Amino acid sequence: MDRHYTLGVMLVTFSALIWASAGIFTRGVDADAWSVIFWRGLAATGFTFIYLLLTEGLRREWKMMRPPAWLATVLMASGTAAFIPAFKLSSVANVALIWATAPFVTAALAWVMLGERPSRRVVIASIATAAGVGILAGGSVQGGGLAGDLLAFWMTLMMSASFLIYRRWPQTPAALPSALSAMLLLPFALMFTDPVTVSTQERWILVAFGAVFAAASVLMLEGARRIPAAEVALIGALETPLAPVLAFLILSETPPAATLTGGVLIFAAVLWAQINGMKHHSRNRATEG
């Protein structure tokens, strides 16, 4: 097997494993959501800037910071501001499963804003995931976690909109807007909380949270250069079942019946769409060859 390809698969897999632990970091500490955002953002910003300096990419990406890049920065910041409190107000499983609908939310936005008509495969999978999210929301209304689910959906919407920017303007830089989005939230965090009151132990946990998630972004970017985009999305889908499993093993968080039912529907739709998408791309390459 091609070593270049194998390395790409490993990098994207490690990235998915790290992202699956987001709920563990957030729910595993007593710090409030804005304190988590502050310390995580501070570490993520520092790590990403170090990466850009080491790869000599900082100057290049800064020169490419045009309006689409700044818009992506704001969208990612808004998504992060919802992402962290979502874990505090809802279950890890619900947040992970709602986030799994991002490919279909992106497809819907692309249809409305760019006129990109989605394939029948995407439409069918979107209907299935919408039904799954409806089941999740129904369970959350009864369990009191609806606010967290709504924040998770807002995060998904904001990140999907940022994906759209990269589709419309593919030359838009990725690492620097990510770092700036984390930096943008720091003054807001200081307005709403006093992050210094967080215990030293939790502070180090949150710094590690920011560092490993910045590393996950780098791993994903490096892996995506080595394997097809469809396979990146398929491997990334590992995050969906892994997040609830980690929450159960580490936090003893047992998903309710509605989460399990809706989760199976969402994950099956995502997996079906990605596998069929890979087959479609393979047939197209064979035809072109």
Q: Tens digit of pLDDT for each residue in 170-225?
A: 888 888 998 999 999 999 999 999 999 999 999 999 999 898 888 887 787 677 66
**pLDDT of the chain, 289 residues: tens digit per residue:** 567 778 887 888 888 888 888 888 888 899 999 999 999 999 999 999 998 998 888 999 999 999 999 999 999 999 999 999 999 998 888 888 888 888 788 888 888 888 888 778 878 887 888 888 888 777 766 666 788 989 999 999 998 898 888 888 888 888 899 899 999 999 999 999 999 999 999 999 999 989 888 888 778 767 766 776 556 666 777 777 788 888 888 888 887 787 788 878 888 887 787 777 767 666 665 565 5
pLDDT of residue 234: 64
Tokens of 234: 């398929």
Residue 254 corresponds to which amino acid? T
CB 179 within 8 A of CB 48: yes
* Domains contained in the chain, number: 1
Stated as kind and residue range, the H or E segment containing 10 is helix 3-19
Buried b vs exposed e over 149-181: b needs ≥16 C-beta within 10 Å? Answer: bbbbbbbbbbbbbbbbbbeeeeebbbbbbbbbb
pLDDT of residue 278: 66
Confidence (pTM)? 0.82
pLDDT of residue 289: 57
pLDDT of residue 287: 63
CB 32 within 8 A of CB 191: no
CB 266 within 8 A of CB 258: no
pLDDT of residue 274: 72
Q: How far is CA 183 from the centre of its chain?
A: 18
CB 85 within 8 A of CB 193: no
pLDDT of residue 75: 95
Separation CA 269–CA 210 (nearest Å): 31
Three-state SS at 144: coil
Q: Measuring CA to CA, which residue among 88, 113, 73 is closest to residue 23?
A: 88
Q: Measuring CA to CA, which residue among 154, 133, 112 is closest to residue 240?
A: 133
What separation in angstroms does the CA of 227 have from each of 113, 153, 165, 231?
Answer: 28, 29, 22, 7
pLDDT of residue 194: 94
Separation CA 125–CA 272 (nearest Å): 8
CB 155 within 8 A of CB 102: no
242 DSSP 8-state letter: H
Residue 279: which domain range? 3-288
